[in-house]
Structure 1
Amino acid sequence: LRYNVQNYLGEGEIEDSYKISKIAAHVPDLVVYSTLTNDIPYAENFHGVLLFADVSGFTNLTEKFSLSSKKGYGADELTRTLNSYIGEIVSHILDAGGDILNYAGDAILALWTVERVQLSEVISLVVKCSLNIQDQCGVRETEVGCQLKVKIGISAGKLSKVIVGDEISQYFVVIGRAVDEVRLAEGLAVASTIILSPNAWELCERDNIAIDPIENERAVKVRYIKREPSFSVEKYQDSIGMSVEHEKVTRGTVTRVARYLPVIFLLIDDDQPLEYLSEMRPATIVFVNMQFKGGESDQEQCMTIHQAAIGIGQQIVKHHGRVNKVFMFDKGCTFLCLFGLPGDKREDESAHALQAAYGVHDLCPMLSNRTVSVGVTTGPVFCGVVGHPVRHEYTVIGRKVNLAARLMMHYPGVVSCDSETCYYSKLPAFYFNELPKKAMKGVKNPGVLYQFMANKQQITVGKAPMSVEREEGYPLLGREKEIEVYSSMLKGFLEARAAGHKNYNNVLIYEGPIGYGKSRLLAEVVYRTAKEGVRVISFELAKTDIKQSNYALQTLLAIVMSVQNCKSYAERERVLLSKILDPKMRQNLCLLNDILLVKFPVSKDVSLMDSQTKNKKMRNYFLELFCKFAEDEPCVYVLDQAHFVDRSSLTFLLEACEKASVLVCMALLPHTSQSGPFSELSRIIKDPRTLYLNLPGLEPPVIAQLACQILGVVRIPSEVELFLVERSHGVPYYCEELLKSLYLGNLIVIEEVEGEDEAKDVDILFPEPTLVVHCSKPSQVGQEEDARAGALGRKMDLLASMLKSRKITALDHFVDRALVCFVGEAAKFHEVPIPLTLKGMALAHLDHLQPADQMVVKCAAIIGQTITTQMLINILPESENPDKLNLSLTSLFKSGTFECGSKPKQFTQQLTKESECWDALNCYCVQDSQEDVREGQ
């Protein structure tokens, strides 16, 4: 079918046949030459010989490309290097009549399906094929200095093809003793060797294969073959598919086959070249292993895998991931799942992956009562189509892929993850437990590893601390206007409270994209409010909290009542009794039982209420308590990540802001503000007493100061300053990630200088009072830097420990030590690639756009940062008409992807109301000169 599909075509079927041919290249002959109409699941028995080729060196090769900023080290070059080597190995297998079952990262599993009486002849054929591979591809030097090697395991015997899944996605798995044996044989092999499994050695033509025994093993090592195999490859290839009735190529046929490769089919259906999929991409990898007890029949294994595949697929897709492969491994079934593929990229994919992993971990034992182990990692991987022109697959390769597989095997029965996944998930610390270190084959410096437990292992009330705290001597930079607005609102709040009226602005919202410093700004608000002697109640929400009804309300009440640190319900009850003294309010303390996890006796009135009445009574009681405490003392409520407030809590917050004398300060993401999931949030934003500030980027002079804070230095070179201003676009997080990339790539160095003369340039960056870096004892490097250092294989020394100090204090005494940043040797800033963290954010934004909008963005990016509409019209495909372009431009303006190129450089967003600015497309072009209208990216 793969070679001759058009021989069976009728008129008008060319397009579908083209897609069938492309799809067929992604699945093995075992699937291509089988019926697509059987009921799922089903198992089909046969005999065969398996070859498992494991390539070493791919991970190092991938790392070499991902860390290099040189030209010619991109994903296209990496793809060519990978496929030239793998393609040659696959050519030998295809020439010998083999069928590529799957590519598992840097490994290849091939099959020869034959009658039982032919096994001995075919084993000789496969041995000859393996010897040819080792002779031609055993050791390969690459242009970038990485050596590629291959080791091979061979097994034979009875096998079963299992087809599982549902109407959306289907998976094929080959099961049987021979599958376990081929992996064990490969495990005994070293580079450039071939191992025959015990069963293959029993079944083969022993007089034709020279071997060396392996101590304490029944498997043997192949030395050479004495005579050419007698098995006819030509006749074997001609016989493949002869018993299959060729179906007429229809759209239904295309759809049925496409269920085996949902990731690729979207591109094939859109006629996009598959080369576009090859890239170095930040992603999250999830390996799931379900162990069998042993002794199950093929039919029992088939049903178990089928149920697991459906359940796992639903969990993964629900959290915007994809099941990439299903295969048998180590007496169990393994699922490789990917988060962050093209079209699926999300900024919170690590949190999604952990939630999906935990859901799978809970689900599978219920389905099959078997041990389930899950490994989760986050980092740069190669994603792309790997293999041979006639047989290839979409796969992922990289150090993080290997680590996820090792975590799955070395930490059975739990959901384990690396430190990057923990960090980027932004989930509460009590969701994680540190795991003991274990030696893992092929893994060096994995960093701190964690068990993810969700929040089921620990009952907490009010535990949602702010992730960022303001430190003494560490001033907030470039946000004077925003702090001035808050200070004015705080003053107005206190004056209105003293005068006994509510004629003041009671809600302040800081809105800005990820990385704009919202958490730092709120930390400054908390710090300044506390210095004024006003009570502050602050907490930060996480993505998982939005799904828990009343979670934010529970946290708010717990902190208001000061029970957040209580360790038992009895202790919480004692504190509540000391806080609530009004006899009338004490009568209904039982209404706090569910939300604050206490056990006050249920009053008679409450016991007689139906559910609806009780819920209404509870809400009124909570509001009464809240208003009472707000009346007793002034209090400011600070909510970070407020877009994760659940709906019930938002309803309460809306009522509280209307009835109580409070001041609320919160931070939101912009997309939530425009199209948030709950109308209650929009009502708060649109309220006449609400003010919001849309955070702009930092001005260039502030970027230099921020860089000094981040690095812990008194001066940075002008080249670094210019680089940061151009690349960061005024975004603090971008600046931080760029500096990490420069530092860990040895493009900048930090050295100590002595004497006052060396620190005179500080005045340029920090006007009076003069500021210098306070070099205290070296602090621990943060988890992220630790993990990054592990990825680079570098030892973090004293300077690295200072990278995260970020403390600047006013100079009030003589300082005889200072650190200065210098440009590293042979540094070429124009060749520095975008850090993968920032690339991931950009990809997430791009993946959320409609296909037509994505095309406009990609074409605009080719032109440059500032473009005209006429340029776009000239470069876009002919199918993109002006009306369609205008719709895309409107959408891209609203999403913040494009902005007017005539916008003044020093433009500052004014304080405005939601209804006046969110839906407006701001243009600053001269209206009578349409030729000059420009939309800058």
Structure 2
Amino acid sequence: MPTFVENIASFLPIRVLNCFAADPTPLADPASSSFEAAVLFVDISGFTALTERLAQKGSIGVEELTTHLNAYFGQLIELIIAHKGDIVKFAGDAMLAIWPAESLSLDLATYCAAQCALAILNDLGEYQAANAQLQLHIGIGAGELKEFYIGGMNGRWEYFVAGEPIAQVALAETAAGIGEVCLSLTAWELIKDQFVGTLLASNVVRLEGFNLLTCVADRRLLNIGESAPIAIYDQMQERLERYVSLGVLQRLKVGQTDWLGDLRRVSVMFLNLPGMDYDAEGSLDFISTIINAIQNILQVYEGILNKFLVDDKGSTLVIGFGLPPFSHEDDSVRCAIAGMALLEKLRSLGLQPKIGIATGTCYSGVIGSEQRREYTIIGAVVNLAARLMQAAQDGILCDERTFEFAKSRIQFESLTPIKLQGIKDAVQVFSPLGEVRQDLPWWMAGKTAKSMVGREKERLLLRHKLELLKAGVSGVVVICGDAGIGKSCLIENLLLQAQEFGVGILVGAGNANAQSKPYHAWNTVFSHLWDLSFLPDLDAKKRQVLDLLEDEPEWLEKAALFNEVLGLDFPDTEVSAGLVGPQRAEATRDLLVQLLQNSVNRSPKLLVFEDAHWPDSSSRALILAVAQKVKRLLLAIGTRLMGESVPEEYDRMLRIEGVEQLHLEAMPARYFRFALSAFEGKEFT
């Protein structure tokens, strides 16, 4: 039975495992190196249609689909490994493998790749799965590859290869018909004496078979021995884990090595970065900057980077919102907002990204065998997102389902329906413009303060606090309790009551995955105050801030202090550059406190913080400063019970005179019976 480390290792290429076996110390910095190799790309058509058909059968269909996927990919993996190949990446229903020219010469490596391709066609060329014919197209290239170990944000890393052979296989595979293998001219020159081929008009060679006479005569081919065994040992665990998805790691850690895939609603994003030059001087640092920026944004919105692929059209990232270990009701919203954030950030780095987003049900799960496997997503929605990316010139295109799920939160532009490759009818598409401006959080649309059951005492106290606020009296209320006890429900009721009172509302929130990001809990608060959230790009946001600071010359000198809070990039002035360390932190807090005070001077406001147990130390320090200094403000904080581990800032806040603490306990059973009766439309007795 494989060990835990061996199970993790099955998700990584042999080349990566050998690298880590030689030095298991986790990388501190990105790295790259070059090597020659033959490259094979196998594209399998038919799995998407099979997925959609079996999905109609529910859980039985999922089990059947998992069986077919693993049976097919298991054979494909076995054939590649038997021919000394190394599987670098699964690309949905495709696969990329390499034959490094290290223990072999490049011509022998290419020979092995071609031999493997013919074996794949022989064994899997007419494969039937649930009465569906799966079809193969194979491309082969050869030359110098460049490998990258990139990432590092929150310990997450990516491995990928790039270079001319990748572009070669993309062109060759595109030219290959059903059940055909095509080679680039470079690859063909290396093996033309051992094989028979036909030159095509597309300037690639279709592989017809072996040249039996020359294959037998070439004694070198008899010396291709078995691959050396891979060394896997426990000291590699920490480094290996950094390259495996969090959802997979969670399953492996509880012993679930052979779990079934599932059908889940996912918002899929395809992000393409055209024109990336991986051979340019300084490319490693630039690519590292890009990947770190992407990782940072995905961390905030809890999207999962599923694939990083490189081909002749640039670099493409496949990202899922709703994939393990994260799943939210608002995944479509998160995906669209993350898309806008990525577009803005990547443009600021000089790139012209193209993004396609689609929402729907797809198959997600681990496919392959104990030798090699990956977590992947397959389905029509994945293909649709890819087609939308291809159609997006320099921006974001979303499908109609994403629009329907996200329109209450995001403003969209409806575009003319377009024709997409592989889709019969024209597709209605939308482009997100920005978040909708509204006082109440978007998820509360249509709710009323009267819809809550129980917590009468707490609701009355909060109502009294709102009445005092209307009279200009400040207050601080801390609502604490265990997870799931009802803190969010009570806070929602408070927000609804505030709306009825005509009190202005500001909402901030902590995020477990953004604790290293200073002031992350305050971004939405100040973005709302300055009407930044619906502006299309960074330049527009900066212009808006400068316009608002026009009458405050002292603030203009310190505009760079807003950068961390609002995600801006104002350059330091002579004044702000002189503020460093604790002095800069204090100056930033004072500036933000004054900004908030100026706002509530015009009209009193309710400021709510959800998940206040997650904010970073800068956010907590600002919460304390606001509680101490800002007048005409009701500050309401929702947090889990902190016990003895109360952060210093909260401990000091709780000591402020007049602070109310509401410790929520479980409600009596009668309230649950009442709520259930109301839900079922029955009279409560």
TM > 0.5? yes
Taking the aligned partners of 1:409 and 1:141, their CA distance within structure 2 comes to 31
Answer yes or no: is the 8 Å Cα contact 2:125–2:135 preserved in 1. yes
Distance 1:440 1:25, change over 3 A: same
Task: Give per-residue Cα distances to partners, 1:820-861, cap 9 Å, x unaligned.
Answer: xxxxxxxxxxxxxxxxxxxxxxxxxxxxxxxxxxxxxxxxxx
Q: How many Å apart are 1:382 and its aligned residue? A: 3.0
Name the residue aligned to 2:40: 51
Answer yes or no: is the 8 Å Cα contact 2:485–2:665 preserved in 1. no
Query: In structure 1, which of residues 136, 154, 157 is the aligned counterpart of residue 142 of structure 2?
Result: 157
Per the alignment, in what secondary structure is the counterpart of residue 252 of structure 1? helix
Taking the aligned partners of 2:49 and 2:241, their CA distance within structure 1 comes to 33
Distance 1:137 1:618, change over 3 A: closer
Determine if the alignment matches structure 1 residue 272 to structure 2 residue 245: no
Q: How many Å apart are 1:180 and its aligned residue? A: 0.8
Task: Give per-residue Cα distances to partners, 1:471-499, cap 9 Å, x unaligned.
Answer: 8xx999965778999799979988x999x
Matches within 5 A, 1:631-646: none
Distance 1:186 1:691, change over 3 A: same
Answer yes or no: is the 8 Å Cα contact 1:507–1:691 preserved in 2. no
Name the residue aligned to 1:749: none
Q: How many Å apart are 1:600 and its aligned residue? A: 4.5
Task: Give per-residue Cα distances to partners, 1:898-933, cap 9 Å, x unaligned.
Answer: xxxxxxx98xxxxxxxxxxxxxxxxxxxxxxxxxxx
Determine if the alignment matches structure 1 residue 403 to structure 2 residue 384: yes
Name the residue aligned to 2:539: none
515-524 or 118-127: which moved more?
515-524
Distance 1:444 1:43, change over 3 A: farther
Say which structure, 1 or 2, has more relative contact order (CA 8 Å, 6+ apart).
2
Taking the aligned partners of 2:653 and 2:297, their CA distance within structure 1 comes to 29
Distance 1:117 1:362, change over 3 A: same
Name the residue aligned to 1:464: 439
Name the residue aligned to 1:61: 50
Distance 1:98 1:699, change over 3 A: same
Answer yes or no: is the 8 Å Cα contact 2:83–2:112 preserved in 1. yes
Query: In structure 1, which of residues 66, 87, 90 is the aligned counterpart of residue 77 of structure 2?
Result: 90
Task: Give per-residue Cα distances to partners, 1:372-398, cap 9 Å, x unaligned.
Answer: 334455544433321233222233323
Answer yes or no: is the 8 Å Cα contact 1:282–1:340 preserved in 2. yes
Q: How many Å apart are 1:309 and its aligned residue? A: 3.9
Gaps spanning 5+ residues in structure 1: where?
1-14, 530-534, 559-563, 566-592, 631-636, 706-764, 768-904, 907-937
Determine if the alignment matches structure 1 residue 41 to structure 2 residue 20: no
Query: In structure 2, which of residues 548, 571, 577 is the aligned counterpart of residue 597 of structure 1?
Result: 548
Answer yes or no: is the 8 Å Cα contact 1:305–1:333 preserved in 2. no
Taking the aligned partners of 1:330 and 1:513, their CA distance within structure 2 comes to 53
Answer yes or no: is the 8 Å Cα contact 2:262–2:365 preserved in 1. yes
Taking the aligned partners of 1:445 and 1:682, their CA distance within structure 2 comes to 61
Task: Give per-residue Cα distances to partners, 1:47-98, cap 9 Å, x unaligned.
Answer: 42x32111122223333444433x5234x44322101112223333334343
Per the alignment, in what secondary structure is the counterpart of residue 195 of structure 1? strand
Taking the aligned partners of 2:661 and 2:69, their CA distance within structure 1 comes to 61
Name the residue aligned to 1:825: none
Paired residue type of 1:142 = A
Task: Give per-residue Cα distances to partners, 1:179-220, cap 9 Å, x unaligned.
Answer: 112112222334433333344445543794354845xx2235
Determine if the alignment matches structure 1 residue 72 to structure 2 residue 23: no
Per the alignment, in what secondary structure is the counterpart of residue 144 of structure 2? strand
Name the residue aligned to 1:328: 310
TM-score, normalisation: structure 1: 0.52
Distance 1:194 1:80, change over 3 A: same
Determine if the alignment matches structure 1 residue 439 to structure 2 residue 439: no
Task: Give per-residue Cα distances to partners, 1:581-604, cap 9 Å, x unaligned.
Answer: xxxxxxxxxxxx97993754879x
Matches within 5 A, 1:66-215: 66-69=55-58, 72-74=60-62, 76-114=63-101, 126-127=113-114, 129-143=116-130, 147-165=132-150, 168-205=155-192, 208-209=195-196, 211=198, 213-214=200-201
Taking the aligned partners of 2:472 and 2:288, their CA distance within structure 1 comes to 66
Q: How many Å apart are 1:450 and its aligned residue? A: 4.7
Determine if the alignment matches structure 1 residue 297 to structure 2 residue 279: yes
Taking the aligned partners of 1:614 and 1:329, their CA distance within structure 2 comes to 45
Answer yes or no: is the 8 Å Cα contact 1:505–1:689 preserved in 2. no
Name the residue aligned to 2:373: 392
Answer yes or no: is the 8 Å Cα contact 1:478–1:699 preserved in 2. no
Gaps spanning 5+ residues in structure 2: where?
512-518, 535-543, 559-574
Taking the aligned partners of 1:131 and 1:441, their CA distance within structure 2 comes to 29
Taking the aligned partners of 1:166 and 1:684, their CA distance within structure 2 comes to 43
Answer yes or no: is the 8 Å Cα contact 2:308–2:317 preserved in 1. yes
Taking the aligned partners of 2:307 and 2:236, their CA distance within structure 1 comes to 22
Name the residue aligned to 2:204: 219
Name the residue aligned to 2:561: none
Distance 1:654 1:433, change over 3 A: farther
Query: In structure 2, which of residues 7, 14, 17 is the aligned counterpart of residue 29 of structure 1?
Result: 14
Answer yes or no: is the 8 Å Cα contact 2:89–2:97 preserved in 1. yes
Q: Percent identity?
A: 20
Q: How many Å apart are 1:407 and its aligned residue? A: 3.6
Distance 1:185 1:477, change over 3 A: farther
TM-score, normalisation: structure 2: 0.68
Size of the alignment, in residue pairs? 619
Name the residue aligned to 1:536: 502
- Please give the root-mean-square deviation of Cα atoms over the aligned residues, in Å: 5.9
Paired residue type of 1:151 = L
Distance 1:440 1:493, change over 3 A: closer
Q: How many Å apart are 1:401 and its aligned residue? A: 3.0
Q: How many Å apart are 1:43 and its aligned residue? A: 1.6
Name the residue aligned to 2:244: 261
Task: Give per-residue Cα distances to partners, 1:740-775, cap 9 Å, x unaligned.
Answer: xxxxxxxxxxxxxxxxxxxxxxxxx7x9xxxxxxxx
Q: How many Å apart are 1:107 and its aligned residue? A: 0.3
Query: In structure 1, which of residues 699, 705, 709 is the aligned counterpart of residue 675 of structure 2?
Result: 699
Taking the aligned partners of 1:346 and 1:516, their CA distance within structure 2 comes to 15
Paired residue type of 1:547 = H
Task: Give per-residue Cα distances to partners, 1:655-691, cap 9 Å, x unaligned.
Answer: 799x76x9x798x878599999984997999955989
Distance 1:465 1:161, change over 3 A: same
Distance 1:378 1:254, change over 3 A: same
Q: How many Å apart are 1:419 and its aligned residue? A: 5.6
Taking the aligned partners of 2:417 and 2:183, their CA distance within structure 1 comes to 34
Per the alignment, in what secondary structure is the counterpart of residue 60 of structure 2? coil
Taking the aligned partners of 1:615 and 1:96, their CA distance within structure 2 comes to 63
Answer yes or no: is the 8 Å Cα contact 1:320–1:344 preserved in 2. yes
Per the alignment, in what secondary structure is the counterpart of residue 83 of structure 1? helix
Per the alignment, in what secondary structure is the counterpart of residue 16 of structure 2? helix
Per the alignment, in what secondary structure is the counterpart of residue 72 of structure 1? helix
Paired residue type of 1:29 = I
Answer yes or no: is the 8 Å Cα contact 1:97–1:237 preserved in 2. no
Answer yes or no: is the 8 Å Cα contact 1:282–1:379 preserved in 2. yes
Taking the aligned partners of 2:167 and 2:193, their CA distance within structure 1 comes to 22
Paired residue type of 1:104 = A
Answer yes or no: is the 8 Å Cα contact 2:31–2:284 preserved in 1. yes
Paired residue type of 1:176 = G
Answer yes or no: is the 8 Å Cα contact 2:459–2:490 preserved in 1. no
Answer yes or no: is the 8 Å Cα contact 1:339–1:349 preserved in 2. yes
339-348 or 642-651: which moved more?
642-651
Distance 1:387 1:251, change over 3 A: closer
Paired residue type of 1:274 = T
